[in-house]
Amino acid sequence: MSSTPVPPDGDAAADGSTTDPVAEPVTIQGHWDFGYTYFAGASASRFFNELRLNQRIMGTHCPTCDRVLVPARGFCDACYVEIDEWREVGTEGTLDSFTILTTSFPGLPEPPTVVGYVTLDGASTALLNAVHGIDLHDFDEAGALLLTQPRVRVVFSDKCEGRITDFAFELVAADA
Amino acid sequence: MRATRPNDDEEVDVQRVYVHGTAVSSSWADGSASLTDLIFRCVRRALDDARMPVGDLEAVVLAAHDLVDGRSLTNMITAPAAAAFLKDETRLGDDGAAAFVLGDARIRSGSVRTCLVAAWGRASEGPADDIARALFDPFTTRPLGMTEIGVSGLRASRALIEHPEYAEHRAAAATRRGEVEGAAGRIPAAAWPLRDTELPIWGDVVSAVVLSSEPGPVEVLGAGMSTEPFELGDRDLTGLPALRSAGEQALREARRSIDEVDVLEIDALTMFDEALALEAVGATGSGRGMEALALDPRLDPAGARSVGYCAPAMGLTRIARAVQRVREGDGALALASGSSVVAAQTQAAVVLGRAEGHDTTHGRSCR
């Protein structure tokens, strides 16, 4: 290999780029498409199976901090103790926070969609899920309604599969 | 120098640490440079700024994300470009500010005398939304289309509920951030209530900082780190307790109060995140974060926004910017922080002070 610099064959363009084909930037396309099998573990499995089989939302109670953690889990990370006392929480709660998502992902419902964190009655932590039944023709109008922190209730799908998408929230006042 | 341990307040002897050089590079989809080219050039500039031969470097701490870089075990490819060849190297999958704290700790402990810290992210190479979604839990949040911007939308709605006064100042705060030429195609899809002008502008960002126990223009006076739960439903989305804790640790170690700080470089993804972060570090009162973004002279919102945004480079970028501002005389005491994915779960904060009697004008942070 020569150690002598090789002058470019082409001329420099007015914008400073070169017409030298040897200097043309090379790009390639890359794509990661691996399959994973995620193990939910005993506590989360029971949480999802309760959704599928019994249409119940379950939490686990930490005896140290007295919180009911939803979704259920096998340990309290704040107190750092194992927990296995199961409690069913309510199917109504208050919308703590929300956003209107506008990003599209394959396999997910077409945006715009509303998702929100809801602290269900009897729970100490909030649970994220879709909020259905909101008129999204005017985001500002929809947002103004949701900023009032309305009460919402859980509505289960007709066919539950043991997934977080087995249920969604809808406004309690929608048909009140 | 004496430092105080967090749990028992016992004082221990530690080495003093100084920032000798910084560099930040910002670009977008520059086909003439590979990722390793970008890293090499920025680190080279930081070493030049420090006037430090690479042979004098004893340790390197690097922050990078495989998903962002699109390379499994990305540091295998990128570390040599960051001056890690035959060096004591630490690889971190966290924000660059956390890497800075680890680099600071290596010197403070006396293990090494010099350390380079570098962080990078090249948003133009990968799909930012897909990467952001992949960070979330596959059982509970990923199926709902959650992304980092989505969490910021959640945080923004919560902020508007708790602090209606945010609405009064958000337009002025956005104006102060300024427009960035040619950025239209680099702004992510908004999540209501966020607006386009409140969002980051994706960028190809590399940051590098050179630390040494030898006296230099800016001293690292304190550092802190803290972590929140992974579950977003467990978190105080607006209180940002990890940032509050990290900031308190850093200020306590520096034996300074937030009232003495005259340069603020607080990393956050969106404008609402930044407003809440200012409250968390105590730079302003509850509900006044957005007003501070609009008016507070300790902030330079346009400077931070002009660099562009890509995790995990931004915390170190804020630190480099704080060093630059102290060098240029914006102030004598700076607080800088960096927040990690997912949704600012981990926070690192540092206090930087102008070293008395040292020439602060040599070298420049460069872009």
B233 CB within 8 Å of a chain A CB: yes
Task: Examine residue B89 and state whether it is found in any structural domain, yes or no.
Answer: yes
The answer to whether residue A176 scores a pLDDT higher than 60 is no
- Going by C-alpha positions, the residue among B296, B291, B298, B292 that lies closest to residue B264 is B298
Task: Examine residue A58 and state whether it is found in any structural domain, yes or no.
Answer: yes
Asked which of A58-67, B36-45, B125-134, B276-285 is least confident by mean pLDDT, the reply is B125-134
B43 burial (CB, 10 Å; 0-12 / 13-18 / 19+) is buried
Q: Which domain holds residue B45?
A: 12-126+202-212
Contact flag B157-A143 (C-beta cutoff 8 Å): yes
The answer to whether residue A105 scores a pLDDT higher than 50 is yes
Task: Examine residue A24 and state whether it is found in any structural domain, yes or no.
Answer: no
Residue of A nearest to B138 (CA): A38
Whole-number average pLDDT of chain B? 93
Task: Examine residue B47 and state whether it is found in any structural domain, yes or no.
Answer: yes
Q: Are A38 and B138 in contact (CB under 8 A)?
A: yes
Nearest to B140 among A32, A113, A128 (CB): A128
The answer to whether residue B179 scores a pLDDT higher than 90 is no
Percent of chain B with pLDDT over 70: 96
Instruction: Quickly state the pLDDT bin for B182 (edges 50, 70, 90).
Output: confident
Contact flag B143-A111 (C-beta cutoff 8 Å): no
Task: Examine residue A9 and state whether it is found in any structural domain, yes or no.
Answer: no
Average pLDDT on B16-24 reads: 98
Average pLDDT on B248-258 reads: 96
Q: Which domain holds residue A105?
A: 41-175
Q: What is the pTM of this model?
A: 0.93
Task: Examine residue A67 and state whether it is found in any structural domain, yes or no.
Answer: yes
- State how far Cα A1 lies from the chain centre: 54
Measure the CA–CA gap between B194 and B170, rounded to whole angstroms. 10
Task: Examine residue A57 and state whether it is found in any structural domain, yes or no.
Answer: yes
Residue of A nearest to B137 (CA): A38
Instruction: Quickly state the pLDDT bin for B65 (edges 50, 70, 90).
Output: very high
Measure the CA–CA gap between B132 and B155, rounded to whole angstroms. 16
Task: Examine residue B237 and state whether it is found in any structural domain, yes or no.
Answer: no
B37 CB within 8 Å of a chain A CB: no
- What contacts B291, CB < 8 A, 6 or more positions away? B165, B168, B169, B173, B284
Lookup result for tokens 């520096």? B254
Minimal Cα–Cα distance from B128 to chain A, Å?
11
Contact flag A128-B31 (C-beta cutoff 8 Å): no
Measure the CA–CA gap between B255 and B219, rounded to whole angstroms. 13
The answer to whether residue A1 scores a pLDDT higher than 60 is no
Percent of chain B with pLDDT over 90: 83
Residues of B in contact with A102 (CB under 8 A): 189-192
Residues of A in contact with B143 (CB under 8 A): 108, 163-165
Task: Examine residue A36 and state whether it is found in any structural domain, yes or no.
Answer: no
Contact flag B155-A44 (C-beta cutoff 8 Å): no
Residues of B in contact with A74 (CB under 8 A): none
Residue of B nearest to A164 (CA): B140
Contact flag B146-A127 (C-beta cutoff 8 Å): no
Residue of A nearest to B190 (CA): A102
Q: Considering its fold, how many domains does chain A have in total?
A: 1
Determine the pLDDT at residue B219: 98
Minimal Cα–Cα distance from B219 to chain A, Å?
35
Instruction: Quickly state the pLDDT bin for B366 (edges 50, 70, 90).
Output: very low
The enclosing domain of B46 has a CATH number of 3.40.47.10
Measure the CA–CA gap between B317 and B331, rounded to whole angstroms. 18
For residue B11, give the 3-state DSSP assignment: strand
Q: pLDDT tens digits, residue range A115-134?
A: 999 999 999 999 999 999 99
| Interface predicted TM-score (ipTM) of this complex, two decimals | 0.89
Task: Examine residue A92 and state whether it is found in any structural domain, yes or no.
Answer: yes
3-state DSSP helix/strand/coil percent for chain A, to nearest 5?
Answer: 20, 30, 55
Instruction: Quickly state the pLDDT bin for A5 (edges 50, 70, 90).
Output: very low
Determine the pLDDT at residue B144: 95
Instruction: Quickly state the pLDDT bin for B360 (edges 50, 70, 90).
Output: low
Contact flag A99-B154 (C-beta cutoff 8 Å): yes
Number of A–B residue contacts, CB under 8 Å: 115
The answer to whether residue A174 scores a pLDDT higher than 90 is no
B138 CB within 8 Å of a chain A CB: yes
Task: Examine residue B366 and state whether it is found in any structural domain, yes or no.
Answer: no
Task: Examine residue A32 and state whether it is found in any structural domain, yes or no.
Answer: no
Instruction: Quickly state the pLDDT bin for B11 (edges 50, 70, 90).
Output: confident
Q: pLDDT tens digits, residue range B109-158?
A: 999 999 999 999 999 999 988 999 999 999 999 999 999 999 999 999 99
Determine the pLDDT at residue B5: 67
The answer to whether residue B367 scores a pLDDT higher than 70 is no
Q: Considering its fold, how many domains does chain B have in total?
A: 1
Asked which of A128-142, B2-16, B203-217 is least confident by mean pLDDT, the reply is B2-16
Task: Examine residue B327 and state whether it is found in any structural domain, yes or no.
Answer: no
